[in-house]
C-alpha cells in the first residue's frame, strides 16, 4: 500500500524490505534518499533499525511510521529519526517525504 501511494504521487521507490535486518542488508545497494520504517517490523523494530542505520549512515533521512505515537516518538527522535508519522495519517507520507528532503 505504501509503495503504491508513494509511486502514484510521483516519487521513486528504490527498494523494499520486509524486516529490519533485510532493510539493513539492502541499505548500501539501494542507497535511498529517504528510508521509511514501520515501528512494528519483524526481526527488529523501527527504532532499533533506525539506530543501526544512523550509526552506519549518520546523514541518512529516516521517517518512522507508527500506530502508537506517545510511547514511540521520544525514542524515535533520540534515535535520530527525522520525522514520525502516525499510521492514521499515512496518506500524508508523500508530502512528508518531500518535506524531509527539502528541510
Residue 97 lies in a domain: yes
Residue 16 lies in a domain: no
What confidence category does residue 93 fall into, taking pLDDT thresholds of 50, 70 and 90? Answer: very high
What is the predicted pLDDT for the residue at 68? 82
H or E element that contains 84: strand 83-86
Residue 59 lies in a domain: yes
| CATH label of the domain that carries residue 71 | 3.40.50.2300
Sort 85 into a burial class: Cβ within 10 Å, 0-12 / 13-18 / 19+: middle
Q: Is the dihedral of CA 85, 2, 59, 66 positive or negative?
A: positive
Strand partners, 74: none
Domain encompassing residue 46: 2-9+23-102
Residue 18 lies in a domain: no
Residue 98 lies in a domain: yes
Domain count, the chain: 1
Residue 72 lies in a domain: yes
Could you read off the pLDDT of 53-88 as tens digits, one per residue?
Answer: 999 999 999 999 988 877 778 888 889 999 999 999
What is the predicted pLDDT for the residue at 35? 97
Could you read off the pLDDT of 19-35 as tens digits, one per residue?
Answer: 999 999 999 999 999 99
CB 64 within 8 A of CB 46: yes
Residue 69 lies in a domain: yes
What is the predicted pLDDT for the residue at 82? 96
pTM for the full predicted model: 0.92
Amino acid at each position: 500500500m505504501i509503495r503504491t501511494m508513494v509511486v502514484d504521487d510521483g516519487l521513486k521507490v528504490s527498494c523494499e524490505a520486509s524486516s529490519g535486518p533485510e532493510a539493513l542488508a539492502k541499505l548500501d545497494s539501494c542507497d535511498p534518499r529517504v528510508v521509511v520504517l514501520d515501528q512494528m517490523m519483524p526481526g527488529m523494530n523501527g527504532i532499533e533499525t533506525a539506530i543501526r542505520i544512523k550509526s552506519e549512515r549518520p546523514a541518512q533521512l529516516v521517517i518512522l511510521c507508527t500506530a502508537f505515537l506517545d510511547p514511540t516518538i521520544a525514542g524515535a527522535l533520540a534515535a535520530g529519526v527525522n520525522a514520525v508519522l502516525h499510521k492514521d495519517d499515512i496518506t500524508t507520507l508523500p508530502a512528508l517525504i518531500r518535506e524531509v528532503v527539502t528541510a
